[in-house]
Homo-oligomer: A and B are copies of this chain.
Amino acid sequence: MTVPSSLHQRILADIGQKIVSGEWPPGHRIPFEHELTEQYGCSRMTVNKALTQLAKAGLIERRKRSGSFVARPRSQAAVLEIHDIRTEVEALGLPYRYSLSSLTQRLAETPEDATAGFSDAVPLLDIACRHFAGDAPFCLEERLISLEAVPEAAVQSFADTAPGAWLISHVPWSTAEHTIRAVAADRATARMLDVPPNTACLVVERRTWSGGLPVTRVRLTYPGTSHAVVARFTPEG
Protein backbone atom coordinates (compact mmCIF):
# COMPACT_ATOMS: atom_id res chain seq x y z
CA MET A 1 0.00 0.00 0.00
CA THR A 2 1.83 3.04 -1.25
CA VAL A 3 0.80 6.41 0.07
CA PRO A 4 -0.94 8.36 -2.69
CA SER A 5 1.33 11.30 -3.38
CA SER A 6 -0.92 13.01 -5.87
CA LEU A 7 -4.58 13.82 -5.98
CA HIS A 8 -5.53 11.64 -8.94
CA GLN A 9 -3.74 8.74 -7.25
CA ARG A 10 -5.75 9.31 -4.10
CA ILE A 11 -9.00 9.33 -6.05
CA LEU A 12 -7.91 6.13 -7.78
CA ALA A 13 -7.04 4.48 -4.48
CA ASP A 14 -10.28 5.61 -2.81
CA ILE A 15 -12.47 4.19 -5.55
CA GLY A 16 -10.34 1.07 -5.90
CA GLN A 17 -10.72 0.46 -2.17
CA LYS A 18 -14.51 0.75 -2.36
CA ILE A 19 -14.57 -1.78 -5.18
CA VAL A 20 -12.14 -4.24 -3.62
CA SER A 21 -13.91 -4.13 -0.27
CA GLY A 22 -17.19 -4.94 -1.96
CA GLU A 23 -18.79 -1.72 -0.75
CA TRP A 24 -19.45 -0.98 -4.40
CA PRO A 25 -20.47 -4.31 -5.94
CA PRO A 26 -20.15 -5.20 -9.64
CA GLY A 27 -22.57 -3.17 -11.69
CA HIS A 28 -22.66 -0.32 -9.19
CA ARG A 29 -22.49 3.10 -10.79
CA ILE A 30 -19.42 5.17 -9.95
CA PRO A 31 -20.23 8.84 -9.27
CA PHE A 32 -20.13 10.92 -12.46
CA GLU A 33 -16.98 12.83 -13.19
CA HIS A 34 -18.66 16.12 -12.36
CA GLU A 35 -19.80 14.69 -8.99
CA LEU A 36 -16.28 13.58 -8.11
CA THR A 37 -15.01 16.94 -9.31
CA GLU A 38 -17.25 18.55 -6.71
CA GLN A 39 -16.51 15.96 -4.00
CA TYR A 40 -12.75 16.38 -4.28
CA GLY A 41 -12.84 20.05 -5.21
CA CYS A 42 -10.70 19.52 -8.29
CA SER A 43 -10.97 19.76 -12.05
CA ARG A 44 -12.51 17.16 -14.32
CA MET A 45 -9.14 16.34 -15.91
CA THR A 46 -7.93 15.09 -12.55
CA VAL A 47 -10.80 12.71 -11.87
CA ASN A 48 -10.72 11.70 -15.53
CA LYS A 49 -7.10 10.64 -15.15
CA ALA A 50 -8.00 8.43 -12.19
CA LEU A 51 -11.05 6.88 -13.85
CA THR A 52 -9.18 6.27 -17.11
CA GLN A 53 -6.54 4.34 -15.20
CA LEU A 54 -9.15 2.30 -13.33
CA ALA A 55 -10.74 1.45 -16.65
CA LYS A 56 -7.43 0.29 -18.13
CA ALA A 57 -6.82 -1.85 -15.06
CA GLY A 58 -10.18 -3.50 -15.69
CA LEU A 59 -11.74 -2.43 -12.40
CA ILE A 60 -14.40 -0.26 -13.99
CA GLU A 61 -16.19 -0.02 -17.29
CA ARG A 62 -17.02 3.31 -18.86
CA ARG A 63 -20.04 4.01 -21.03
CA LYS A 64 -20.80 7.28 -22.71
CA ARG A 65 -23.97 8.98 -21.65
CA SER A 66 -24.49 6.31 -18.94
CA GLY A 67 -21.54 6.72 -16.65
CA SER A 68 -18.90 4.41 -15.19
CA PHE A 69 -19.68 1.10 -13.52
CA VAL A 70 -17.85 -1.42 -11.37
CA ALA A 71 -16.78 -4.18 -13.74
CA ARG A 72 -17.92 -7.73 -13.26
CA PRO A 73 -14.87 -9.59 -11.96
CA ARG A 74 -13.38 -11.58 -14.80
CA SER A 75 -11.44 -13.74 -12.35
CA GLN A 76 -7.70 -13.81 -12.40
CA ALA A 77 -8.00 -15.28 -15.88
CA ALA A 78 -7.56 -11.84 -17.38
CA VAL A 79 -3.93 -11.71 -16.39
CA LEU A 80 -2.84 -15.26 -15.83
CA GLU A 81 -5.27 -17.13 -18.00
CA ILE A 82 -6.53 -19.66 -15.54
CA HIS A 83 -10.18 -20.03 -16.31
CA ASP A 84 -12.97 -21.02 -14.04
CA ILE A 85 -12.77 -24.80 -14.04
CA ARG A 86 -16.38 -25.34 -15.11
CA THR A 87 -15.82 -23.08 -18.12
CA GLU A 88 -12.59 -24.87 -18.86
CA VAL A 89 -14.20 -28.30 -18.85
CA GLU A 90 -17.19 -27.19 -20.86
CA ALA A 91 -14.88 -25.59 -23.42
CA LEU A 92 -13.63 -29.13 -24.06
CA GLY A 93 -17.18 -30.20 -24.86
CA LEU A 94 -17.33 -32.45 -21.82
CA PRO A 95 -20.03 -32.54 -19.14
CA TYR A 96 -18.90 -30.90 -15.92
CA ARG A 97 -19.52 -32.32 -12.48
CA TYR A 98 -18.43 -31.06 -9.10
CA SER A 99 -18.07 -33.15 -5.97
CA LEU A 100 -17.26 -32.08 -2.43
CA SER A 101 -14.98 -34.47 -0.54
CA SER A 102 -14.52 -32.81 2.82
CA LEU A 103 -15.17 -29.53 4.58
CA THR A 104 -13.96 -28.65 8.05
CA GLN A 105 -13.68 -25.47 10.03
CA ARG A 106 -10.57 -25.01 12.10
CA LEU A 107 -8.01 -22.49 13.29
CA ALA A 108 -4.76 -21.78 11.46
CA GLU A 109 -1.86 -23.42 13.27
CA THR A 110 0.28 -25.62 11.05
CA PRO A 111 3.47 -24.33 9.43
CA GLU A 112 1.73 -24.90 6.10
CA ASP A 113 -1.02 -22.48 7.12
CA ALA A 114 1.65 -19.93 7.95
CA THR A 115 3.33 -20.49 4.57
CA ALA A 116 -0.03 -19.97 2.94
CA GLY A 117 -0.11 -16.55 4.61
CA PHE A 118 -2.62 -17.17 7.39
CA SER A 119 -1.65 -15.87 10.83
CA ASP A 120 -1.97 -18.11 13.84
CA ALA A 121 -5.48 -18.80 15.13
CA VAL A 122 -7.26 -17.24 12.15
CA PRO A 123 -10.47 -19.22 11.55
CA LEU A 124 -10.21 -21.22 8.34
CA LEU A 125 -12.42 -23.27 6.09
CA ASP A 126 -10.50 -26.34 4.92
CA ILE A 127 -12.02 -27.83 1.80
CA ALA A 128 -11.17 -30.73 -0.48
CA CYS A 129 -13.16 -31.31 -3.64
CA ARG A 130 -12.93 -32.60 -7.18
CA HIS A 131 -13.89 -31.39 -10.63
CA PHE A 132 -14.88 -34.00 -13.21
CA ALA A 133 -14.87 -33.91 -17.00
CA GLY A 134 -17.31 -36.60 -18.02
CA ASP A 135 -16.58 -39.56 -15.75
CA ALA A 136 -12.89 -38.83 -15.32
CA PRO A 137 -11.52 -36.65 -12.53
CA PHE A 138 -10.24 -33.46 -14.15
CA CYS A 139 -8.68 -31.76 -11.18
CA LEU A 140 -8.26 -32.08 -7.44
CA GLU A 141 -8.81 -28.94 -5.39
CA GLU A 142 -7.52 -28.35 -1.86
CA ARG A 143 -8.55 -24.98 -0.53
CA LEU A 144 -8.21 -22.85 2.56
CA ILE A 145 -10.48 -19.83 3.00
CA SER A 146 -9.92 -17.22 5.68
CA LEU A 147 -13.17 -16.66 7.54
CA GLU A 148 -11.68 -13.44 8.82
CA ALA A 149 -11.59 -12.08 5.28
CA VAL A 150 -14.77 -13.77 4.03
CA PRO A 151 -17.05 -14.48 7.03
CA GLU A 152 -20.03 -15.21 4.73
CA ALA A 153 -18.22 -18.36 3.58
CA ALA A 154 -18.90 -20.00 6.96
CA VAL A 155 -22.58 -20.50 6.20
CA GLN A 156 -21.98 -21.87 2.69
CA SER A 157 -22.23 -25.64 2.31
CA PHE A 158 -20.28 -25.85 -0.97
CA ALA A 159 -22.19 -29.04 -1.69
CA ASP A 160 -23.25 -27.90 -5.14
CA THR A 161 -21.22 -24.77 -5.80
CA ALA A 162 -17.44 -25.01 -6.06
CA PRO A 163 -15.72 -22.64 -3.64
CA GLY A 164 -13.78 -21.05 -6.51
CA ALA A 165 -16.92 -20.04 -8.39
CA TRP A 166 -18.55 -18.78 -5.21
CA LEU A 167 -15.52 -16.71 -4.22
CA ILE A 168 -15.18 -15.16 -7.66
CA SER A 169 -18.66 -13.68 -7.34
CA HIS A 170 -18.08 -12.55 -3.76
CA VAL A 171 -14.54 -11.16 -3.83
CA PRO A 172 -14.48 -8.82 -6.82
CA TRP A 173 -10.79 -8.11 -6.96
CA SER A 174 -7.57 -9.11 -5.37
CA THR A 175 -3.85 -9.43 -5.57
CA ALA A 176 -2.91 -12.91 -6.65
CA GLU A 177 0.19 -15.05 -6.61
CA HIS A 178 0.51 -18.22 -8.62
CA THR A 179 3.05 -20.95 -8.09
CA ILE A 180 3.19 -23.70 -10.67
CA ARG A 181 5.21 -26.87 -10.42
CA ALA A 182 5.34 -30.49 -11.50
CA VAL A 183 5.05 -33.33 -9.01
CA ALA A 184 4.67 -37.08 -9.16
CA ALA A 185 1.29 -38.13 -7.79
CA ASP A 186 1.47 -39.78 -4.38
CA ARG A 187 -0.76 -42.75 -3.55
CA ALA A 188 -3.67 -40.67 -2.18
CA THR A 189 -3.60 -38.12 -4.98
CA ALA A 190 -3.37 -40.86 -7.59
CA ARG A 191 -6.47 -42.52 -6.17
CA MET A 192 -8.41 -39.27 -6.12
CA LEU A 193 -7.47 -38.52 -9.71
CA ASP A 194 -7.85 -42.12 -10.88
CA VAL A 195 -4.37 -42.34 -12.40
CA PRO A 196 -1.39 -44.61 -11.69
CA PRO A 197 0.85 -43.54 -8.81
CA ASN A 198 3.84 -41.39 -9.82
CA THR A 199 1.98 -39.90 -12.76
CA ALA A 200 3.39 -36.45 -13.55
CA CYS A 201 0.91 -33.84 -12.33
CA LEU A 202 0.73 -30.09 -12.74
CA VAL A 203 0.14 -28.33 -9.44
CA VAL A 204 -1.12 -24.76 -9.53
CA GLU A 205 -1.14 -23.01 -6.20
CA ARG A 206 -2.87 -19.67 -6.00
CA ARG A 207 -2.92 -17.27 -3.08
CA THR A 208 -5.13 -14.23 -3.19
CA TRP A 209 -5.42 -11.14 -1.07
CA SER A 210 -8.05 -8.49 -0.82
CA GLY A 211 -7.10 -5.19 0.70
CA GLY A 212 -3.91 -6.61 2.19
CA LEU A 213 -5.72 -9.49 3.91
CA PRO A 214 -5.10 -13.07 2.73
CA VAL A 215 -8.35 -14.51 1.40
CA THR A 216 -7.71 -17.97 0.10
CA ARG A 217 -5.04 -20.48 -0.82
CA VAL A 218 -5.97 -23.10 -3.36
CA ARG A 219 -3.95 -25.98 -4.69
CA LEU A 220 -5.18 -27.43 -7.98
CA THR A 221 -3.68 -30.73 -9.07
CA TYR A 222 -4.17 -31.70 -12.71
CA PRO A 223 -3.26 -35.22 -13.81
CA GLY A 224 -0.75 -35.99 -16.52
CA THR A 225 -0.47 -33.77 -19.52
CA SER A 226 -4.21 -33.09 -19.62
CA HIS A 227 -3.65 -29.52 -18.65
CA ALA A 228 -1.49 -26.53 -19.46
CA VAL A 229 -1.41 -23.06 -18.01
CA VAL A 230 -1.22 -20.31 -20.59
CA ALA A 231 -0.28 -16.73 -19.87
CA ARG A 232 -0.08 -14.06 -22.51
CA PHE A 233 0.76 -10.45 -22.16
CA THR A 234 1.56 -7.37 -24.18
CA PRO A 235 3.34 -4.23 -23.08
CA GLU A 236 0.36 -2.02 -23.88
CA GLY A 237 -1.80 -4.00 -21.48
Contact = CB atoms under 8 A, between A and B. Distances in A.
Interface of A: 16, 20, 57-59, 76, 79-80, 173, 175-184, 198-203, 222, 224-225, 227-237
Contact of A233 (B59, B175, B182, B203): B175
A215 to B, nearest CB: 14
Contact of A180 (B175, B228, B236): B228
A76 B235 CA distance: 10
Contacts of A202: 180-182, 202
Contacts of A232: 175-178
Nearest to A228: B181
Contacts of A230: 177-180
Contact of A16 (B76, B198, B227, B235): B235
Contact of A182 (B20, B58, B182, B234): B182
Given A230-B177, A231-B177, A232-B176, A237 B182 contact: no
Pairs A-B, 3 closest by C-beta atoms: A200-B200, A182-B182, A182-B202
A57 B237 contact: yes
A225 B183 contact: yes
Residue of A173, A202, A227 with most partner-chain B CB within 10 A? A202
Nearest to A80: B231
A160 to B, nearest CB: 30
A118 to B, nearest CB: 18
Contact of A235 (B59, B182, B198): B59
Contacts of A20: 235
Nearest to A177: B232
Nearest to A222: B182
A181 B233 contact: no
A199 B224 CA distance: 12
A235 B57 contact: yes
23 contacts: A16-B235, A57-B235, A57-B236, A57-B237, A58-B235, A59-B235, A80-B233, A173-B235, A175-B232, A175-B235, A176-B233, A178-B231, A180-B180, A180-B202, A180-B230, A182-B200, A182-B201, A182-B203, A182-B222, A184-B199, A198-B198, A200-B200, A237-B237
Contacts of A183: 182, 200, 225
Contacts of A177: 230-232
